Amino acid sequence: MRALLYFIVAIVILVGGAVFLAPMFISADLVKQEVEAAVESATGRKLTIAGDVSISAWPALAANIGDVTFANAPGAQTENMATMKELRAELAIMPLLSGTVQVDEFVLREPVINLEIARNGTPNWQFEPAAAPADPAPSPQDTSGDDTAPAGDGTSGGGTSGGGTSGGGLAPTEVSLANMTIENGQISYRDALSGAAYNFSDVDVTLNLPSLDEQLVVAGALTWNAERVNIDATVERPRAALEATTTAATVNVASNPVTFDYAGDITFGDALSTAGSLELDVPSVRALSAWTGSPMAEGGGFGPLALSGQLASAGTRYTFSDAAMSLDGMNATGDLVVETAGARPKLSGALSVDQIDTNVYSGQGDAGWSTDKIDFSGLKAIDTDLDLSAGEIIFGNIVIGQSALGLDITNGNLVANLTKMALYQGTGSGKLTLNGRQATPSLAANFNLSGLAIEPFLNAASGFKRLAGTGLFNIAVTAQGSSQAQMVNTLNGTGNIDFRNGAIKGINLAQIIRTALTDPISGWSNATSSDTDFSELNGSFNITNGTLANNDLKMLGPLLRLTGAGRTSIAQQTINYRLKPKLVASLEGQGGAADKAGLDIPVIVTGTWSNPKFAPDLAAVISNPTEILKGVESLEKIQPKDIIRGLLGQEEPAGDAPAEENTQPKPEDVLRGLFGR
């Protein structure tokens, strides 16, 4: 801004001076020569006027110059810094007499402006005036008294007293631009240090500058990457750009991909700094990313973005305080810092988020494990160091309540440390690592949960609805793949469970054993319409390539003990498991002995998670009838009525009750019933 203002003022003064002197010249060619010489002397660059020059001196000083070229800096990529089809200027006469340049009209038609920063960091708008010819050596008689003036006191070379500006004298006492216009221009910018390059076409700008101490108003539009961008700006005191001081300013940028509003202070200097309010609105982050030349991979999310707050910037560091942010319908407040000096922008700070919905980005399918490709490209676009508090986190069908987490993203690798997590009436902590920097993304998760309501959690996590209770759940897994289905098929890890006071839903194992005494064939169907209550259920598991294996399941309940072993395919959501329920002569549940003697009949569980099948393992019963007989004998100490009361949760009635006839069947009758005889 500062350099551009210098350049504009220089051109205005030089052309204005040439126009003022023009009536004294006879030849238009002489006018060209004087203007070209004046510009080269002031900037060290060659100005060439190839077109016609027309000049008038009344009622205002006016000039019309065609086909103008202004040379670029040595070593620049383009030959010329600027070219224009026509330059038209009109200056008021009387203000010139008081040292004020009042431009009533200044028009650049079809200019082409090339801005560059060289590898050594020098911009091409930094001018070096042409070297003045050496002064002749003073004669001896002229040196008397010279020792009274200190060297470099600013009194020589056309400088002003008091250390004022020396040399070309480009800064006027006052400048007024009533109507400066750029018509159908082109502007390019290239930075050899960063590799950044931008090209703007169809540039139309109107500038109004009453004075250097009054408000500068700029209104314009340009086209970039096939999108029209409208720009409006004001600067309260333009002189601040020349003095490297602070002034109030507003900026509005409006286009289809983005709308940007800023109101506050701007400080000019080696690096521009700001302090004010900001509002940003992006209809689609994906569309904006594609427009700016960094398209994202196909996937969900990264739609509407809105940001507002207080902006303070200095160089490559931008601080947002009291920020309010919305992305894909998720809302957050807090403080943010953006640093753009590195290979990727880095976002740090603390945010409070109402909801984090990962399904927006993961391509969650309607049923089973989705094969939609998950877009991890966003992890490579930015680094983060954030402290987040979330009212809700949604991952697949799992809904995590009030949570606190640290979110670190470095070069495509995400690490989320959940230090606080409310999950289905329980609490927990965990760590999730997602590596999106490699060709095949990988995941590692480690969670420790307690007080967990098992039924809603397992239903949300895997669609399994057959287990209820409250307890501990610990798991550590790894996976890799570009979709949910691929990750589930490569899932590996370990875990353990310890549930209390729950039920295995959809099957009454005690009833299965009980009906084996009377109706071993048809009694199974009735047993699958109710539940098996338990006081304690625990075990451990290993997961290998999406298949979970368990060999130490143990369940304790009144009148019932259970062990189990088998496998379940998480990828296919199928189960192949063998339960060994045992009816025992004990009402003791939680904390009771697991190896109580009793009657057991193994049960085979097959089918899918949503529709499991239960069947007795008759082959095991037939192969070992002696164990069945021993189990029946162990039950002789407890009456059938006590079994029923225990299963129904009823207590022994008070007082002496008349002895009932023992109707328990004989062991041989049990075996006949099991074999259907």
Q: What is the pLDDT of residues 654-666, one digit of tens each?
A: 554 454 454 444 4
Confidence of residue 584 (pLDDT cuts 50, 70, 90): low
Q: Is 15 exposed, middle or buried (0-12, 13-18, 19+ CB in 10 A)?
A: buried
Maximum CA extent, the chain: 150
* Mean per-residue pLDDT of the chain: 80
511, pLDDT greater than 90: no
pLDDT above 90 as % of the chain: 44
Q: Is the pLDDT of residue 180 over 60?
A: yes
Pick the closest to residue 503 from 462, 456, 455 (CA basis): 455
- Over residues 435-448, mean pLDDT: 91
- Give pTM, 2 decimals: 0.67
Pairwise pLDDT comparison (15 vs 500), residue with the higher score: 500
pLDDT confidence of residue 223: 98
Q: Are 635 and 598 in contact (CB under 8 A)?
A: yes
The DSSP call for residue 300 is: S
Residue 93 has pLDDT above 60, yes or no: yes
The full DSSP string for 392-443 is -EEETTEEE-SEEEEEEEETTEEEEEEEEEEETTEEEEEEEEEE-SSSS-EE
> Distance of CA 467 to CAs 471, 622, 648, Å?
12, 30, 20
**What per-residue confidence (pLDDT) applies to 506?**
77
The mean pLDDT of 169-185, rounded to a whole number, is 74
What is the rounded average pLDDT of the residues 229-234? Answer: 98
Residue extents of the structural domains in the chain: 1-129+172-210, 212-341, 347-490, 498-653+661-677
Residue 505 confidence (pLDDT) above 90 = no
The alpha helices in 187-300, defined as continuous H runs, are 239-243, 285-291
Dump pLDDT digits (tens) for 358-383: 888 765 444 568 888 887 877 888 89
| pLDDT for 473 beyond 80 | yes
Judged by average pLDDT, the poorest of 155-159, 202-206, 484-488 is 155-159
pLDDT in tens, 319-369: 999 999 999 999 999 999 999 888 889 999 999 999 988 888 765 444 568
Whether the predicted pLDDT of 630 surpasses 60: no
**Residues whose CB is less than 8 angstroms from the CB of residue 410 and which lie 6 or more positions away in sequence, other chains included:** 383
Beta carbons within 10 angstroms of residue 155's beta carbon: 12
**Percentage of the residues of the chain whose pLDDT score is greater than 70:** 73
Highest mean pLDDT among 254-258, 502-506, 624-628, 632-636: 254-258
First to last CA, the chain: 102
pLDDT band at residue 144 under the 50/70/90 scheme: very low
Q: How confident is the model at residue 4 (pLDDT cuts 50, 70, 90)?
A: low
Its sign, for the CA torsion 515, 516, 518, 519, is positive
The mean pLDDT of 255-269, rounded to a whole number, is 96
Q: What is the tens place of the pLDDT at every residue in 26-68?
A: 466 777 888 888 888 888 999 999 998 888 877 778 888 999 9
